[in-house]
Amino acid sequence: MTDAPPIVVGITGASGAPYAVKLLQQLTAAHRSVSLIVSKYGMRLLDAEMGISSMDALRDAVGKSGWDSCVQSYSNDDRGAPPASGSALTAGMIVCPCSMGTLSAISVGSSRSLIERAADVTLKEKRKLILVPRETPLSAIHLANMLRLTRAGAVVMPASPGFYHRPETISDLVDFVVARMLDHLQVEQTLIKPWQGEN
């Protein structure tokens, strides 16, 4: 594990569990410290989409060795945990996937949970906040919330895979999106080569 401050990772109930698991795998492989918060609906999502029904099962999916050396998990109900305080230094936060309910709460500063409070703290401390919604179509309300957050300094990164790398599997599509997350978190990645232009 590096000496860098932890990256806060929130997992909420929007579809996209494979993105969250791959992100955690990559962060631990890079030996980055992670403060992990999984909401109740985030855990339900992990179970529905990947058969991961508990934190122990998530640890197995991420990899026990990397998890044990890099991941510290917190209850989403614990608004007294370190990510809730601006005095606890972090390297930023990513909510992946980010439900529209969570995005809405963050956009108006409604800190009903640790994920929402940690995001609020990340914004007020001028640290990087990345939100990964996976919703379509988008209503005017969704777009207004995203605009408010972008103006406040957040990065809104919809889970929209590209196709110029000619993906052949679902994993290839997941890798594309996670690579973009890692780029914005300034974590070195080898999942996708940077675009070099057409030959």
- Into how many domains does the chain fold? 1
| Strand order across the 71-75 sheet | 71-75, 34-38, 7-11, 93-98, 129-133, 155-156
What is the per-residue pLDDT across 139-195, written as a single tens digit (0 to 9) for each? 999 999 999 999 999 999 999 999 988 999 999 999 999 999 999 999 999 898 877
- Of the pLDDT bands very low, low, confident and very high (cuts 50, 70, 90), residue 30 is very high
Whether the link from the prior residue into 158 is cis, omega within 30° of 0, is: no
Range of the domain at 11: 7-184
What is the per-residue pLDDT across 87-126, written as a single tens digit (0 to 9) for each? 999 999 999 999 999 999 999 999 999 999 999 999 999 9
| Contact (CB, 8 A) for 176 and 192 | yes
Residue from 128, 167, 169 nearest 150 by CA = 128
User: 3-state class of 98 per DSSP?
Assistant: strand
Does 121 reside within a domain?
yes
In this structure, what CATH number is given to the domain that contains residue 155? 3.40.50.1950
How far, in Å, are 47, 176, 199 from residue 65 at the CA level?
A: 22, 25, 41
Does 197 reside within a domain?
no
Predicted TM-score (pTM) of the model is 0.95
Does 196 reside within a domain?
no
Mean residue pLDDT of the chain comes to 95
Does 1 reside within a domain?
no
- φ, ψ of residue 125 to 5 degrees: the values are -90, 5
Does 195 reside within a domain?
no
Does 156 reside within a domain?
yes
Quick one: average pLDDT of 44-60?
Answer: 98
Does 194 reside within a domain?
no
Percent of the chain predicted with pLDDT > 70: 98
